[in-house]
Structure 1
Amino acid sequence: MTTKNLPNLALITPYPHLGDIVIMQCAGIFNCHVYHGSLEKAISIARNLDSDYYDVILSRGGTAEYIENATVIPVVRIHTSMSDLLKSLIPLKNHSHKIAFFNYQKYLPDVVLAATALNIVIDEFVFDSQFDMTEKLKLCRANHYETVTGGCPVAETAKQYAMQGILIENGVESVTSALREALAIVETTRRKMLDMTRLEIILSSITEGIIVTNENNDIQIFNKAAETIFGLTGLQVLGKQIDSIIKNTRINQVLLSKSPEIRELQELDNTSIITSRVPMFMGRECIGVVCSFTDTPQIQKVERIIRGKLKKKGFDARYTFDHILSADSEMQAIKKLAQVYARTDSPVMIYGESGTGKELFAQSIHNHSNRRHGPFVAINCAAIPENLLESELFGYEGGSFTGARREGKEGLIELAHQGTLFLDEIGEMPLPIQSRLLRVLQEYEIMHIGGKDVIPVDVRIIGATNRALASMAEDGTFRSDLFYRLNVLPLTVPPLRERAGDFRYLATKFLCETAAEHLLEQFLDLFCSYRWPGNVREMRFIIERLALLSVGFPQYSLREMLTLTGFRFPDAVSLHPNNEPVRVDLSKGQLKNVIKDVERQVIVFYLERYEQNQDKVAMQLGISKMSLWRKLKVDEVTTRESAFG
């Protein structure tokens, strides 16, 4: 009767009684099937057993050794124990003649002890084949042995030479010991098969081609992706020399050198593939090589996916040199210099006051370089606290500090791989982090906080600052070695007040963009002596403000509009030609209404810009959504009161 889920065992026994013992001991452990035969007949039986059905074969003595080389099914031998020998020889206790004991291939320990216990003389003979057994039995007969003990073939053959043959039978203890060994082999084999199945599934799911060779360069593993890349099946290549199947793999060289080769280009027919070859070690011995292959289409596909994800994260540069507006000859020369810088991978250091367009230059350099298809990652070093800046730049392993994500996090340097890292306000970077950044520029590798692995990175660094880094390097507030590493290609963006050709040009452009070109002459007169501490950014914001106010308050001059909003000129331009301060003659009630009108105009302007999205308008104005709602309700009430007058 066969029990489901139990392993299947085949017993090949030379005598029937052993089958009875094994069946009894197998209950609940194995499904046991008994076959009768020894030596040559046992080999024939073993060869005909279904290796997909039977998990293990059990036999005894020389028969087990004979069939081991005739089948792929694991074979377990029932060993003859001291107890088995004593039980079989008890009838010969005090026997006066010498007894010959035959055992297959090795001597049985404590035979002398058994002879002493039974008061008999036992001479032990070891044989390694049926012919050897027969020859030694003939010798025993010639030497007048009358009794021979051993396995079934020995006992049967001894009778042919007129000697008494006594069969050494295996008892319950020997059978139980063999079954324990058989069960351990079955469990180990099943675990290995389970691991191999998992490995095959994993290798099949990997999009990279994987080839594993042994110490002789024979192919041991050839996954599905490798079959696709090379146009070969596993059945065609497994067990064969790698060099006879695929050319230019360099696997043999890696096996000999024991040195890995990572991300190397390999030519294959009419295409190129990226391959990594890593030697495998057991102790100090190299036992083979693992190779991974990625073909060009797969690389391009992954790159497109990564590019898409990085773009969603905002790691892309939107501006080019065409966005840097200037009619000034010096600025035109600086743009050309930046275009030259873009052709290299060396660090760029951009100097300039706030609002001059340093990030525009950084993005333009990236988009003009051969890294334009990679990510552009920007970080403001002054906007992030020191304790967070390091983890943002270098990333961290999960659980490396309180509050860290369980799964860890990639750093911005890592995310900028094969692209550009823009470090704005780099002069504010703390000294300890400067030391780590210096290593990036020296070795182009990083290590996560709490991590142990070194991660190579291919990144170009562009820094920007409104501070004098050279002076900071001299007085020790900025690392001098880092300064020289960053300052390879310096670029200074002049302030707006020093760009003679840009004041009228930019004012005209910005006023046209806001449909307020009619204000140009007033604007030029009003700001002709202004020094623009906020530079181009300030000019754009002021013009946007004036364009908005001029719609709601056409009766006021530009100066009066700016005064209403609290704008103050820091120099003499804030005075009338007669050197008297600007005054707006309004009563308290009038001023209150003017302020309300200004608020209403601003809110209406931004509601139109953001398509009535109140959340965005509130965020832009720096007020809560509730405050925005109250101001809108006040306007509605005021309008109704005016209507019913």
Structure 2
Amino acid sequence: MKAVEKKIAILAPLRSIEQLAREIVERQELNIDVEYVNENNFEEVTRKKIAEGKEIIISRGGIANRIREVSGLSVVDIEISGYDIVRILSKYVHVNKRLAFVERPEIIRNAKKVADSLDLDSKLYTVNRISEFESRFEQAMNDGIRIIVSGSWAVQYDDRYKFFEEKGIVYDVLESGEASIEEAIEKAIELYKMTVDERRKKEEFLAVINSIDEGVISLNTDMDVKTVNPAALDILGMNEENIIGKKIFEFNAGNVVKALESGINKIGKVGSIEGKEIVFNSMPILIDQENQGFVVSFQEVRKLQEIEHKVRMKLSEKGLVAKMSFKDIIGESDGIRRAINLSRNYSRVDSTILITGESGSGKEVFAQSIHNSSRRKTKPFVAVNCAALAPSLLESELFGYVEGAFTGARKKGKTGLFELAHTGTLFLDEIGEMDSVLQTRLLRAIQEKEIMKIGDDRIIPVDVRIIAATNKDLLDEVDRGEFREDLYYRLNVLRVKIPPLRERKKDIVVLAENYSDYLCGKYGFKRLVIDDEVADMFEEYRWPGNIRELQNIIERMVVFNQDNDMNDLDMKTLIIQSFEGRGRQRQEEIEIDMSRSLEDIEKQIIQRVLKEEKFNKTRTAERLGINRTTINRKLDT
């Protein structure tokens, strides 16, 4: 409210109004300026109020009209109420003299009725301009009027006031009472709120039309341009000064003009304006079913074609995004840090990369991270698992096909993954499973940077960065004749080896806690605590399924952890059951090599018993007749 009040000022043409206004403002704790003005200073004071940011002025009578004329501000009039008139006229009830009202009609419109009800002999002398006051006073005096009731015109000038005294004329001032001033203040506050609301609506409207890439022009009924947005100016190649106020006929826009003249909505019409092909919509602006103008929105055909092309590209890229980056790779072990540092370096170039590692070790995470650190990060990332598809299906996925290429082919053909990955990255997971025929086509695509769709004879150039991954020893596959040697060397330009989880012992618990916290946060579960004994079990396990297996076990533990009846022993039993038959050697397969050092033999025996006791160090210590501290020390040597 205080912000509203700061925009309002009361410029009182009478000292009595000034005094009353100050009392009201002080009593109601309003933040409204009050100043006395007269014919000599009202312009100067008004300019000062404008400089102070005032937007609404409260005043009365001729001064109010003059402020309205010179400032362009909104002016709220302090009315003279019927009560104010009764209060002034009641003193003349028993005076046997004719009485005249000399004022503007809006101020004294009820004065005659009040005077008649009080049986006063009265006459109205209406004034429309300040220059008419003196002539009306002369007329009233010539008519034998002895009492003149008017506004502040004479009070502001001592010589005028004395003039009436010398003529024996009683001059009484129509003063506004407290209620009238309070009402004017209320009106001013409401008016400012309405002004702000209208301003907000206008700004919202302008923000909307200025933010869209369609051209928008509004016209009045005479076809004059009233509003134009930046997009329209851009399409027309004009600035605002050259178009506002001009008639639409002045622009080469025959089809548009005809649509407007029809007076009905036109949607999706093709036309031209200033020689540019456009698609436009036009509609009349109707207020109470009366046409108040028109709105035309339009877009260049060329721009629409560009948008269509982008939409098609976006649709084809849907899902072809790398979501992971190096910050998502958790671990501080030497092996994983070395792999990350190598990969960061490799991301700077476009050379082909071969990522090796066991199943579940995170090869695709590295591939996505390399892509997202490369200059191709804003381009498509397309991944395909070469082991998941039959050779013939994989070929059609990679290279695409034309209509009628084979039985069951799509009517309009299919875009291959090489094309979808154009300017981006193609990730070939489990490359070692690709058959020899497809290996030959892949080699050519990598070497020549061009492909040919199945059933087509056209060559399509492609710019694709290849990242391949495998859990096999490809050199061994080359020796056995299962993998092309030339393709191997083409893929193995840069190489990253992802260490298995069992070689990242210091990372296991961190990975487990991170994933459990993620799951608990996702489902709102209570936090899973991984104690030292569970941590030891994790570190001793071989993790043949690597991070994927760890995540599966953690998810199982998180779910069972919500069971309040489940104790630590139950949780460890769950872990052991998860390990059952995985990553453990049978006792009979372990032979002690007596040629090794005593420390190694002790460690081997402890490890064997530890596994037989389901990784329970307490029971292992009891069987071996040593304490847990000794077990930990000997395992760490």
Using the size of structure 1 for normalisation, the TM-score is 0.47
Using the size of structure 2 for normalisation, the TM-score is 0.47
